[in-house]
Amino acid sequence: MEDFNRIRGKIKGQIKRFSGMLVKDFHKPDQKFITEVIYGIQASKDVKLSNIGRALKEKISLKKTEDRLSYNISKEDISHKINERISFLSSKRMHDEMVLSLDIGDVRKYYAKAMENLAKVRDGSKKEIGDGYWLCKVIAADISGEKIIPLYNELYSQESKDFRSENHQMLKAIDTVIVHTKKKGIWAIDRGGDRNKILEALLERRQRFVIRLVGDRDLIDKDGYKINSLQMATCYRGRHQAKIVRIKNGKEKVYHLRYDMLPVRLPWNGTPLFMVIIKGFGEKPMMLLTNLKVETKIKESIWRVAEIYFARWKCEESFRYIKQSYNLEDIRLLTYKGLRNMVSFLLAVSYFVSTYLGDSLKLKLLFEKILIISNRFFGVPTFFHYAVADGIYNCLFSGKSGLDEKRKTYVNFQLSLPFDEWM
């Protein structure tokens, strides 16, 4: 029990230290509030204010705590400041060849009626239209390995008076990340990125990219003829072969693929591009447009473009972890500002769990103990952040007091391990 209490104290100390890095440009009341919410989300594994309030275990009535949290989360939209700060912290941990996955997701609200700016969204899992909100997110991932770095997560609605367009939301996310990452990383975007405005923006900003084509775009081939991209891809059988295994919904599926590439250009831009063609996933070939330098006679160089795009799958799993582990779709805030702020706080929590704790060698022992506390009977899954979230929850939820239980626990831990040398 004593060891368990010590681990709990260390986790609280790390949450406080991370929150201090995150909120240093905020006023003191806001700093305290943000720290409490980040702690409460992890201690309750939930984004509902009532459960966050219970996790704080304050010596006042739960209603008073909830009223205070409700007032603070809705008084001002600070989501962009949080996204900026996480992008800044994440950029220090990135390298040039990491994949930057930009994606549009959704938060479905089945029964909500009074939530502000509730909009129509397409439920990606059920393939249907329903009420909810859109999410624009950016996550970085290694091409090989399990390293995941959350960079950006913004909730928006087309019913908001500030909404301009989906293209604007995507470009806003790209520009926020670029400010800090500069030319680090390679953008990988699904078919939603096959738009002239997105392609123009990436080329103007001199960003490397791999974008999956829808199939209705015309391209200029090496002989100068304008040809539909799908027709162009269908004509090529593919010189090279590959086999990959994808795990989806807990099941393995083996794909036998053929792939090839073609030099192309956009009709309105003379920049040399390549279209990588991959056959074997379905009836239609997968077409990937990229401005990366590809050696046409070296199959590994061509396949690398495919590997960059496939790294998006890890990012999709990362976002699924965020939604499931912290019950995002059960969010019950009524104000639009509150909803946007809570989603940005969830980004901070996911960064703390997936990157901050797992990236420091001196935190490795604490990280491993958290995995043990997660009580996994069948080992730690490949995407281990589920287990880390469970371990932090099991440790914090069982405590008798909240974030400010014993200051001496935090101070002693800080003296025994010199934090200033860690960063």
Residues 146 and 265 in one domain: yes
How many of the other CB atoms lie within 10 Å of CB of 293?
9
Backbone angles phi, psi at 358, to 5 degrees: -85, -10
26-60: pLDDT as tens digits: 999 999 999 999 999 999 989 999 999 999 989 89
396-409: pLDDT as tens digits: 766 666 776 544 33
DSSP lists the bridge partners of residue 120 as: 131
Q: What global pTM score does this model have? A: 0.85
Q: How many distinct structural domains can be found in the chain?
A: 2
Residues 123 and 192 in one domain: yes
Residue 333 included in any domain: no
Residue 392 included in any domain: yes
Q: For 319, which DSSP code?
A: H
Residues 262 and 372 in one domain: no
Choose among 47, 41, 142: nearest CA to 100: 142
Radius of gyration from C-alpha coordinates of the chain = 23
The CATH number assigned to the domain holding 300 equals 3.90.350.10
Residue 212 included in any domain: yes
208-262: pLDDT as tens digits: 999 999 999 999 998 999 999 999 999 887 889 988 877 666 677 888 899 999 9
Residues 13 and 153 in one domain: no
Residues 277 and 207 in one domain: yes
Backbone angles phi, psi at 222, to 5 degrees: -65, -20
Rounded mean pLDDT, 131-135: 95
| Residue ending a domain, choose from 291, 317, 343 | 317
Q: What angle do CA 161, 173, 228 make, to 5 degrees?
A: 100
Sign of CA dihedral 172, 175, 180, 183: positive
| Residue ending a domain, choose from 284, 317, 350 | 317
DSSP assignment of 79-90? HHHHHHHHHHHH
Residues 55 and 170 in one domain: no
User: Tokens standing for 417?
Assistant: 């391990």
Residues 165 and 278 in one domain: yes
Residues 180 and 70 in one domain: no
Q: What angle do CA 416, 422, 423 make, to 5 degrees?
A: 150
268-327: pLDDT as tens digits: 998 999 999 999 888 899 999 999 999 888 999 999 999 999 988 877 777 777 788 888
3-state secondary structure of 280: coil
Q: Which of 95-109, 173-187, 188-202, 370-384 shows the lowest mean pLDDT across its residues?
A: 370-384
Residues 26 and 110 in one domain: no
Which pLDDT does position 410 carry in this prediction? 34
Q: Which domain holds residue 54?
A: 2-75+360-421
| Residue ending a domain, choose from 317, 339, 369 | 317
Residues 201 and 218 in one domain: yes
Residues 165 and 305 in one domain: yes
